[in-house]
Structure 1
Amino acid sequence: MSNQETNTRKTIITILRTEGPMSAGDLAERIGITEMAIRRHIATLERDNLIFPTTIRQPMGRPAKVYQLTEEADNLFPKNYHSLMLDILEDIVHIDGQDKIQAIFDQREDRLSAQLNELFDGKSLEEKVQALAEMQNSKGYLAKWERKEDGSFEIVEYNCPIAQVSKVYPQTCSCETNVFRRVLGTEVDRSQCLAEGGSCCVFKIQTDHEQEA
């Protein structure tokens, strides 16, 4: 990919962020390239899950198709949430000690488990695994799930939105694994972890058959 193509796509993303949803024709006019060229860039951005089309009604004429940014595209813009979170946790340790951090994550584990248990009530293990992966994916974890040949399930997360926090406070990773165990009602082993230098986070979810064996 040429630098010019890359810069054009960055420009499209910036325009959509600062000016809101826009049609292909408006984007082409705004940037100063042909509509055919803009549609080529749009196709690539859609493929990369950075923009998506939506239809809006107009006072007159046919509904118009416009493009807007996905949540994933929002991650391309600088953020400093992790620094704020680390500062807050550091202040908590200074005021109340390290044990308070564990108490906070224990409370978070209880709260999330209760919420998800209510949401997943009546679902099979496979349905719970699928719903859990979809929920993690919606939070930016780039998660996917699959059933393995031995009957077990696996959830893989290719991104960790809180990796910087997890590297300092590993309780975040333990909390996530424990929540998985509690809502799935089975043993969950984390074999890889992004915060510990892995290429992704991998959770192996055992079935009742495996546990009996």
Structure 2
Amino acid sequence: MKSDLDLSTREKIVQMLKTTGPLTAKEITEPLGITGMAVRRHIIKLEQDLLIESTTLRKPMGRPVAVYRLTKQAQDLFPTRYGSVALDLLGELELESGSVVVNGLFDRRKDSLVRRYQGRMQGKDLEAKVAVLTEIQNENGYMAAFEKVDDEEYVLTENNCPILQIADKYNHACSCELKLFETLLGADVKRTDCLAEGGGKCIYRIKAAGIN
């Protein structure tokens, strides 16, 4: 966490809304020691970035005022321990029921993802499917991109792994991702680099089914 001196004005506004709750522009301005006009510029930018939203508060006397609060998207700016909690839960499940049950959980998640996304693949050729898969992975935070090698081969690169803590301990999660790609694409997929195995990124070589 940054010190107060290190925080930008926008970060201070976000922190105030997180710790204090909904505030008016005047209530935001007073602790910052800057002009109301400057605060409103920051508020406009935060609204454009979908980090804050406003509702209108009507008072018995005087004009209505806007009250600002953080959006759900803004919660991603604050530290979380989802990975640690998930690891703890998986560890407890493994102790109680064994690794086979934990692996089965990953398998069921893969099947659920297939059902969720297979409709987006309908009627598309391999290149279009790879493009859609890249979109899906980006929606889920993988910072993915793909390039075309030729009409039969593509390379998908993931620069981030949102479940890296889990994949480091439970390699079956990576195996399920590979099977997910193969099922959604209807293609042969080979992972040549893996973040969970110490690589700099996850790289998948994708070929049309049956091509050597």
Q: Please say which structure displays the higher CA radius of gyration.
A: 2
1:145 and 2:148 correspond: no
SS class of match (1:178):
helix
1:178, CA displacement in angstroms?
Answer: 1.0
Gapped regions of structure 1 (runs ≥ 5): none
Q: Could you say which residue in structure 2 is the equivalent of 1:88?
A: 89
Equivalent residue letter for 1:158: N
Q: Could you say which residue in structure 1 is the equivalent of 2:211?
A: 212
CA contact (8 A) 1:186 1:206 kept: yes
Measured in 2, the distance between the counterparts of 1:155 and 1:179 equals: 14
SS class of match (2:123):
coil
Measured in 1, the distance between the counterparts of 2:101 and 2:206 equals: 30
Equivalent residue letter for 1:31: L
1:22, CA displacement in angstroms?
Answer: 8.2
Measured in 2, the distance between the counterparts of 1:74 and 1:198 equals: 30
1:134, CA displacement in angstroms?
Answer: 1.8
Q: Could you say which residue in structure 2 is the equivalent of 1:102?
A: 103
Equivalent residue letter for 1:212: I
Equivalent residue letter for 2:211: E
Name the CA shift for 1:154/1:26 in 2 (closer, same or farther; >3 Å): farther
1:160, CA displacement in angstroms?
Answer: 1.8
Equivalent residue letter for 1:160: C
Whichever structure has more strand as a proportion of its residues is 2
CA contact (8 A) 1:166 1:172 kept: yes
1:41, CA displacement in angstroms?
Answer: 10
Name the CA shift for 1:92/1:55 in 2 (closer, same or farther; >3 Å): closer
1:139, CA displacement in angstroms?
Answer: 2.0
CA contact (8 A) 1:163 1:194 kept: yes
Q: Could you say which residue in structure 2 is the equivalent of 1:170?
A: 171
Measured in 1, the distance between the counterparts of 2:138 and 2:13 equals: 25
Measured in 1, the distance between the counterparts of 2:122 and 2:29 equals: 49
Query: What does residue range 37-76 of structure 1 map to in structure 2 within 5 Å?
Result: 39=41, 51-52=49-50, 71=73, 74-76=75-77
1:183, CA displacement in angstroms?
Answer: 0.5
Measured in 1, the distance between the counterparts of 2:121 and 2:93 equals: 33
Residues 100-147 of structure 1: per-residue CA shift (max 9 Å, x gap): 122222222222223322342222222222222222222222x23233
RMSD value, Cα: 3.8
Percent identity, aligned pairs only, is 34
Q: Could you say which residue in structure 2 is the equivalent of 1:120?
A: 121
Q: Could you say which residue in structure 1 is the equivalent of 2:62?
A: none
SS class of match (2:155):
strand
SS class of match (2:146):
strand
SS class of match (1:202):
strand
SS class of match (2:176):
helix
Measured in 2, the distance between the counterparts of 1:57 and 1:181 equals: 46
Measured in 2, the distance between the counterparts of 1:5 and 1:41 equals: 19
Residues 161-187 of structure 1: per-residue CA shift (max 9 Å, x gap): 211111111111111111011100111
Measured in 1, the distance between the counterparts of 2:23 and 2:203 equals: 36
Equivalent residue letter for 2:11: K
SS class of match (2:119):
helix
Name the CA shift for 1:80/1:103 in 2 (closer, same or farther; >3 Å): same
